[in-house]
Amino acid sequence: MSPLVELQGKHIVLGLSGGVACYKAAELARELVRAGATVQVVMTEAAAQFITAVTMQALSGRPVFTSQWDARQPNGMAHIELSREADAVLVAPASADFIAQLAQGRAGELLSLLCLARSMRTCPLLVAPAMNREMWAHPATQRNVAQIVADGATVLGPATGDQACGEVGDGRMLEATELRDELIAVFQPKVLAGRSVLITAGPTFEAIDPVRGISNHSSGKMGFAVARAAAEAGAHVTLVAGPVHLPTPRGVRRIDVQSAQQMLDAVLPEAPRHEVFVATAAVADWRPALAAEGKIKKDGSGRVAALELLENPDILATVARLPAAARPWCVGFAAESHDLVRHARDKLVRKGVPLIVANLGPETFGRDDNTLLLVDAAGEHELPRADKLTLARQLMAEIAARLPARPT
Catalytic residues: 165
Integer Cα distance of 315 and 262 in angstroms = 10
Integer Cα distance of 202 and 220 in angstroms = 4
Sign of the dihedral defined by the CA atoms of residues 71, 74, 79, 81, in that order = negative
Integer Cα distance of 321 and 356 in angstroms = 16
Integer Cα distance of 1 and 12 in angstroms = 19
**279, 288 contact by CB (below 8 A):** no
- Rg value, the chain, Cα: 25
Secondary structure of 259-295 in the HEC alphabet?
CHHHHHHHHHHHHHHCCEEEECCECCCEEECCCCCCC
Integer Cα distance of 176 and 92 in angstroms = 9
Neighbours of 238 (CB within 10 A): 23
**277, 224 contact by CB (below 8 A):** no
Strands ordered across the beta sheet of 154-155: 38-43, 11-16, 88-94, 125-129, 154-155
Q: Using CA atoms in the order 338, 343, 347, 349, what is the torsion angle rounded to 10 degrees?
A: 170
